[in-house]
């Protein structure tokens, strides 16, 4: 049955695929070279701007958490239907994978995340979140709008594409590992490279930032339940104090970075959770602590994880307590690594559009992003898209209830998406151009 569905999907794609592109690759290269500088001007047209803003505001008013993006996904699919863009749904629950172009190699992907955060919006404006306790406080609503904007431009030039552009609308970036789920579901099968962007309040509009190699850290979370023997605080000799054990554990954990890590190898271990006891004069039976750890290399990350478990269990034992440590595998992300060749490609394309002086080196950050799963599997490039607005006051962090998206940035994101993808296809032609007509990839 699954095989028959696959055959039907392939037949459907070829039945509805736009008229085949010209057989002259050099002609299409010339066309795309002429088109790319116009992407930004096209995206700045009021009708396109207003359309992207309208999409973003609809999503913003109705935020959905990871793997719950049903209405967001429905809105995206409706827009893709209107544009005549074929797609696969569902992928990883609510995810969507769209296709523009020939349906044949090379394949290059563009990604936008869709999920919101579990927090109350405190910005008072016309399109404030209508869902209590949920907010798009990290710009994912803007990411979706800009990728749809790019899709609109790309679909207009689909007959000039020398390959296929894959649109990835991903669920559950905020701690849900949606990228890993989409990867496991085959969303990037046969894809040669992938690009994504993230809006940033650090840089003004017209400025983008990225770097080759590691950009964001590998991240994970741990929790430990330390168990002793409770009793009256006036009789500590009859107890095994888990609070004392937890306090010693926390101090020892801080030594992992300060005493064991190479000072030139950035690492973080932070305890942000300490729960235990409910009365001033009672020693509890157990205490729960939790925190996060981060590193910029796989080796350091694995070693840090091993030592965290070892320190917690053995330090608790020294205090006559027992400890059970668990790691949140769902929220464990690898290092986000930018491919060197794609970074050079990004610098060239963004430099032509914005001026090379506006393409700056991004700083290393200990934050994590599940795009790392994609860039670990295939060559990837993640960049920050500046949207700082001095008139809106001091910029708020990406997880602030006062977070504001500067919608003037939308043309830049849409145009860069479209330019990065089209130029990648024209500069990386399919290795085997003599493939038979029916040899398009299985995913289509």
User: Residue 395's pLDDT band (boundaries 50, 70, 90)?
Assistant: confident
Residue predicted with more confidence, 10 or 378: 378
Residue 96 scores a pLDDT above 90: yes
Q: What is the pLDDT of residue 127?
A: 97
Residue 414 scores a pLDDT above 50: yes
Which CA distances in Å does 103 have to 12, 106, 163, 186, 439?
Answer: 11, 9, 7, 16, 10
Q: What is the pLDDT of residue 182?
A: 98
| Alpha carbons 47 and 276: distance in angstroms, whole number | 57
Assess contact for 228 and 326: CB atoms under 8 A: no
Q: What share of the chain is helix, strand, coil (3-state, %, to 5)?
A: 40, 25, 35
The annotated binding site is made up of 138, 140, 174, 198, 399
Residue 315 scores a pLDDT above 50: yes
User: Residue 178's pLDDT band (boundaries 50, 70, 90)?
Assistant: very high
Written as six digits, the tokens of 94 are 């609510």
The class that CATH gives domain 18-215+335-427 is: alpha beta
Q: Mean pLDDT over residues 379-386, rounded?
A: 98
- pLDDT tens figures, 131-171: 999 999 999 999 999 999 999 999 999 999 999 999 999 99
- Kindly list the domain boundaries of the chain, sorted by start residue: 18-215+335-427, 218-331
Q: What is the pLDDT of residue 432?
A: 58
Percent of the chain with pLDDT over 70: 88
The annotated binding site for Mn(2+) is made up of 138, 140, 174, 198, 399
3.30.1490.20, 1.10.10.10, 3.40.50.300, 3.30.70.360: CATH of 218-331: 3.30.70.360
Q: Mean pLDDT over residues 11-35, rounded?
A: 46
DSSP string, 8-44: HHHHHHHHHSPSPPPS-HHHHHHHHHHHHHHHHHHHT
Q: Mean pLDDT over residues 410-435, rounded?
A: 88
| Alpha carbons 417 and 150: distance in angstroms, whole number | 6
Residue 34 scores a pLDDT above 60: no
Residue 443 scores a pLDDT above 50: no
Residue 2 scores a pLDDT above 90: no
DSSP strand pairing (218-227 vs 286-295): antiparallel
């Amino acid at each position: 049955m699954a095989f028959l569905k696959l055959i039907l999907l392939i037949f459907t794609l070829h039945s509805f695929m736009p008229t085949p592109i010209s057989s002259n690759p050099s002609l299409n290269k010339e066309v795309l070279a002429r088109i790319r500088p116009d992407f930004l001007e096209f995206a700045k047209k009021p009708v396109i701007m207003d359309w992207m803003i309208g999409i973003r505001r609809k999503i913003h008013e109705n935020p959905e958490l990871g793997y719950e993006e049903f209405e967001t996904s429905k809105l995206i699919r409706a827009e893709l239907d209107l544009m005549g863009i074929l797609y696969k749904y569902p992928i990883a629950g609510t995810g969507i994978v769209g296709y523009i172009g020939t349906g044949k190699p090379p394949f290059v992907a563009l990604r936008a995340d869709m999920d919101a955060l579990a927090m109350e919006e405190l910005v008072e404006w016309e399109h404030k979140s209508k869902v209590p306790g949920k907010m798009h406080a990290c710009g994912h609503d803007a990411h979706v709008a800009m990728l749809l904007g790019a899709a609109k431009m790309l679909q207009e030039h689909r007959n000039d594409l020398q390959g296929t552009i894959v649109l990835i609308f991903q669920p559950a970036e905020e701690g849900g590992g949606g990228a890993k789920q989409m990867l496991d579901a085959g969303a990037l099968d046969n894809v040669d490279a992938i690009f994504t962007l993230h809006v940033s309040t650090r840089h003004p509009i017209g400025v983008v930032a990225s770097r080759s190699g590691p950009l964001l850290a590998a991240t994970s979370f741990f929790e430990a339940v330390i168990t002793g023997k409770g009793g009256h605080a006036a009789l500590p000799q009859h107890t095994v104090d888990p609070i004392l054990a937890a306090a010693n554990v926390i101090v020892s954990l801080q030594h992992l970075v300060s005493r064991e890590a190479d000072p030139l190898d950035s690492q973080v271990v932070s305890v942000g959770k300490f729960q235990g006891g409910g009365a001033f004069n009672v020693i509890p039976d157990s205490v729960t602590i939790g925190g996060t750890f981060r590193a910029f290399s796989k080796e350091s990350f694995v070693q840090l994880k091993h030592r965290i478990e070892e320190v917690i269990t053995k330090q608790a034992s020294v205090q006559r307590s027992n400890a059970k440590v668990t790691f949140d595998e769902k929220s464990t992300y690898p290092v986000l690594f930018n491919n060197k060749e794609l970074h050079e490609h990004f610098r060239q394309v963004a430099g032509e559009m914005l001026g090379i002086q506006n393409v700056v080196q991004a700083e290393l950050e200990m934050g994590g992003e599940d795009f790392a799963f994609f860039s670990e599997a295939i060559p990837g490039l993640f960049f920050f898209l500046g949207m700082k607005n001095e008139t809106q006051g001091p910029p708020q962090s990406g997880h602030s209830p006062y977070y504001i998206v500067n919608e003037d940035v939308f043309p830049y994101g849409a145009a860069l998406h479209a330019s990065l993808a089209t130029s990648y296809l024209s500069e990386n032609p399919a290795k085997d151009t003599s493939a038979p007509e029916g040899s398009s990839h299985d995913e289509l």
